[in-house]
Amino acid sequence: MKPAAVIVLAAGEGTRMKSSTPKVMHAIGGRSLVGHALAASRGTDPDRVVVVVGSGRELVTAHLAEIDPGAVPVVQEPRNGTGHAVRIALDALAETGAGADGTVLVVCGDVPLLRAETLQALLDRHHGEGNAATVLTAIVPDPTGYGRMIRDDSGAVTAIVEHRDATDAQRAIAEINSGIYAFDGALLRGALARLRTDNSQGEEYLTDTLEILRTDGHRVGAMPAEDHHEIHGINDRVQLATLRRLLNDRICEHWMRAGVTVIDPATTWIDVTVTVENDVTIAPNTQLHGRTRIATGAVVGPNTTLTDTEVGESATVLATHATGVEIGPGVAVGPFSFLRPGTKLAARSKVGAFCEVKNSNLGIGSKIPHLSYVGDGDIGDGTNIGAATVFVNYDGQTKSRTTVGDHAFVGCDSMLIAPVTVSDGAYVAAGSVITKDVPPGAMAVARGTQRNVEGWVGRKRPDSKSAKAAAAAQAASESSTEPDSHDERRMDDTAP
């Protein structure tokens, strides 16, 4: 069964986060907290999704438009409790003519470990038992501070007792309330209309609807989550870090069971949006973010961070930072490479140590082995770019492109001043500054003629270590050219 509507409660201020960012927009595992709640909710295929917003509503509403345009934001003002939040969400649905006559799922916006499978199991339990409401619960090692679930002999929920109000026997109960529910929509609407605010907070509590429904003779059920961590919410940065680690452990375990070698899960961080194929090896201190995709047989890391990057089959990416890059099959990258957005490395190409490549295309089998900058360039197949080559792409106002053809050779320490083309099969001599196009098969030499000023160091730096070293070397050279008198005598004695 699928729900008629999902209501995500995301209006809380989150004061303990001590942040200008609304709590539900803090991110773990590549998604915001509310993004995780929406992803789990969408997994149940609901007809409609409503997100109740309050604190930081402008930021949260804009964020929702980016990550889930189909979700309808509803502003809770004033914020008068969870029951009030659900009531205004149902009112907003009614105003659109949609209504919520079927099952309504209520989800917290700060539970990033919640899974769609758990929500679906809750819905199935709800319908299977014919409940008016079904509560997602958890059995936890330490229930201190949580509301306890009180059940009768049939397993139906008779009450939720807050810790401060519980007896010693009730405090011994390890099953706690998660704040996540499945409701019969029509019965929920009637119960919400009867909520009171005569409590210590002066608010409408959603939990009070359970007592109303039970008093009316309806059954209220409960289902414990298989993993109690799924219901844990976030109130401060410590909890944020704790659940980030738990989520990452879950992700690493998932990929390892799918055939990926994660050498050190403790230092490997993988977003929920990343895709990794079997027989990939991920070395320590590697981070995979965004829409990164790693194809089979690739080796990534150590000390590598990839964001929105595709890595082809059997490629090797070592000690590299890359964002928005396509790395083809069999490509070798690193160590200490920096690949920026718009870079495409074709099959069997290479970007070596201490290279930066930005918005450029590297052809099949071509190489940028080390110590070079290639920006806004197009390099053909089978071409070698020598060490310390710079594609000079910026004149202070505009960016221009450089083209190097197939099977060309650019010597070390060369500058290619864009816009310029080095054609197929052309060579550039080391140390050249290229400002004009180089025809196919030509050798471009653009450097001054070397001139040695003899004795300059001795005249200009007579007391320096350099001058002393030069004088010693010169003396040694001169002595090696003088004939050895002893050898001359021996030669004379043995002459015929």
Residue with tokens 């090692």: 141
Return contacts of 461-467, CB within 8 angstroms, 24+ apart.
Answer: none
- From the list 36, 63, 126, 370, the catalytic residue is 370
Active site residue 370: yes
Peptide bond into 341 cis (omega under 30): no
Q: Which of 187, 189, 211 is nearest to 199 (CA)?
A: 211
338: β partners: 321, 356
25 contacts: CB under 8 Å, gap ≥ 6: 32, 33, 34, 56, 59, 60, 63
Return contacts of 370-376, CB within 8 angstroms, 24+ apart.
Answer: 375/399, 376/400, 376/401, 376/402, 376/418
Enzyme catalytic residues = 370
